[in-house]
Chain A
Amino acid sequence: MKFFRSHVLVSIDPQCLEMGAREIVDALNTELADWGLADEVQILETSRIGDPARFGPDLVVYPENVHYANLTVDDIPFLVEEHFLKGRVVEKFRAQETLIVDEELGAPKAKEVRVVLRNCGKIDPHNIEEYIAEDGYRALANVLTGMTPEEVIDEVMRSGLRGRGGAGFPAARKWQLCRQVPDNPKYLTCNADEGDPGAFMNRRVLESDPHSVIEGMIIAAYAIGASMGYIYCRAEYPIAVANLNIAIEQAREFGLLGENIFGTDFSFDLEVRMGAGAFVCGEETALIASIEGKRGEPRPRPPFPAVKGVWGKPTNNNNVETYAVVPQILLRGADWYASMGTEKSKGTKTFAIAGDVVHTGLIEVPFGLSLREVIFDVGGGIKDGKKFKAIQTGGPMGGCLVEEHLDLPLDYEALTAAGSMMGSGGLIIMDDETCMVDIARFFMEFTQEESCGKCTPCRVGTRRILDLLEKICNGKGTLADIDQLELLCDEVMKNSLCGLGQGAPNPVVSTLKHFREEYIAHVVDKKCPAKVCRALIRYEITPACTGCMVCARNCPVEAISGEKRQMHVIDDKTCIRCGICAQVCNFSSVAVLS
């Protein structure tokens, strides 16, 4: 067995790559080879070591556990000669701060349970052996050598696993439907398009633990009787694509993909397809069209992909996370999985928490935690001691939930009943300085832009809804516009071809429901209560002003005048409402009025 006296973990975080991490790896390899050290020191790439903003391109050397940070390619010859040849730690390259392990994920926060994310940051995603060390491919072995496809479907059915891509359809039911279609060959697709703004749950799994997705897909393929699979990964995730390709290649080398897996007569292979860049390509019929090389546009269902999918053949489509938990379910048993969560939502779910909370980022919690627990215990509460106002769940097609919903359990049924949805797991938390009309406008802007244009209700409807919202935010709206908005939302939801149009009005509908008075304030009083909409606010300097002139110097349009040590004045006609004066004032003397 090859023995390396030293291992070097090098961060290949996208930001580090931008700062030259690839060149550093290449230089390490060249320098080590030049000194004849290549077979003594092993270079391993890892998704992230320290926060790139603080540590820059960095690496850790084991067994010494020395963290070198902010490296450039020019540092490498000296580093290799000193550290690896002469055994001297190079103090000047050492990280100034102690490293907090895997900052993106960190140690599990209160109430977190990691199933999907269990390997993230712990194993080297470029090394299949590290996955195998964590019992990887063990479930596949058990399945192929000891279970019938029906038994696999049964076990997953009993676990209660539901699709993690949005709708929450029971995974095993979908597999069963596809299995029963008397047509061959059958295909498998993995939806790794993750288009929700701010969501990166799938990305983390794909980058840090690609084999769990691959193993889950092979098991699903066996259960369904599929012979070929496609992972449809968005092009904006180059590292995920690269790591998937490496993982697929390694799985093939090990005989875990390809012909006669585990010496059985089951054969299956996988390919990565890069996304076409549109949000709608995440919709499953559009995704299938895109895989076939056609325009990524949705088509009416039925027929469902289980009947007619890729190349017109029966196809099972699941989300990254759905597949990634399958090996764990088969390894640890349906009962174990079903012991977590609520009656109808079993297991755990990853979420990306964003917005005005103390701890933003990726979390994994059992279903059934209350929104309150997620926001205040896991998320650490609202930032800067402000008050909670609303939470948007389910991404851009989800809805806003408010104070009265905080004790709802986080599960599929409860969120839907409250007028929102689980979606893929984006949670955007908003404090009391958020304008809900502006938020609705923000989400509509996204969905309008992403509407593929195939069906009229969505193409024209989202545009009209956005126009109305912009009108209201600009202070030109009327009460009739609000009625019109409601009517339009209803029509677009009812008549659109796919989930995009059917869901796009949700942020408007839910904010209208919970914050109607804010809409009315915009159109009747011409006020933005949260003081966000530029057309409806103005800035005024109060007597607390010391005449320090900082605001006047920073105003980009020279709208502020006044003598030194005299109170300053803003010329409202010139002011563009950028808010810079309020930000730079050291005496909190700039007031925002509406």
Chain B
Amino acid sequence: MPTVKSLEDLKRIREEALKKREIKTNQSRVQIIVGMGTPGIAAGARDTLKEFLSFIEEKGLTDIAIRQTGSFGLDAMEPVVKVIIGDAAPVMYGKVTPYAARQIMELHVLRGKVVEANLIPTEAK
């Protein structure tokens, strides 16, 4: 645990504490929903999920909620991930390997560019 030796130390801990609280609230701007049905898990959805988590942790990102859901019903596309940013329409990604998860974070979440390679076309949904 950090030792508080000055007002600055305290302010820093307070900032961190506020960030953590933000994660707890449901109002995150970015929602990443990972399909965790049996087919998803079989296709490696757990590793995908963990990759999202470590990316967030590495970069110290906030305002993101990682949520799970049951199966999306797209077995052939597993692991399936849905990304919702603000009011924009949800984007569905398929075959999201840990590598793809990282791409989605880097490009879509951080820079606003959809990752075409993993995009599930609208008709498939």
Contacts and interface: CB of A to CB of B under 8 A. Distances in A.
B5 A263 contact: yes
Contact of B20 (A40, A129, A255): A129
Nearest to A138: B10
B68 A3 contact: no
Interface stretch (A84-92, A363-371, A435-443): A84-92
Contact of B10 (A84, A130, A141): A141
Nearest to B19: A1
Q: Which of B5, B21, B24, B56 has the most CB of A within 10 A?
A: B24
B107 interface: no
A86 B38 CA distance: 7
A376 interface: no
Interface residues on A, range: 20 to 34
B43 interface: no
A63 B56 contact: no
Interface string B83-105: 00000000000000000000000
A40 B52 CA distance: 11
B3 A255 contact: yes
Interface string A247-280: 0001001111000001100000000000000000
Nearest to A263: B5
A88 B24 contact: no
A145 interface: yes
B23 A3 contact: yes
A2 B16 CA distance: 11
Contacts of B68: 5, 84, 86-87
Interface in B56-73: 56-57, 60-61, 65-70
A86 B41 contact: yes
A263 B16 contact: no
A129 B67 contact: no
Which 10 pairs from chain A and chain B are nearest by CB? A87-B68, A87-B36, A133-B17, A255-B3, A129-B17, A5-B66, A253-B1, A263-B5, A3-B57, A88-B70
25 contacts: A1-B60, A3-B23, A4-B23, A5-B49, A7-B24, A63-B25, A64-B67, A86-B41, A86-B68, A87-B34, A87-B68, A129-B13, A129-B17, A130-B17, A133-B14, A133-B21, A137-B10, A138-B7, A142-B7, A145-B7, A255-B3, A262-B4, A262-B5, A263-B5, A263-B6
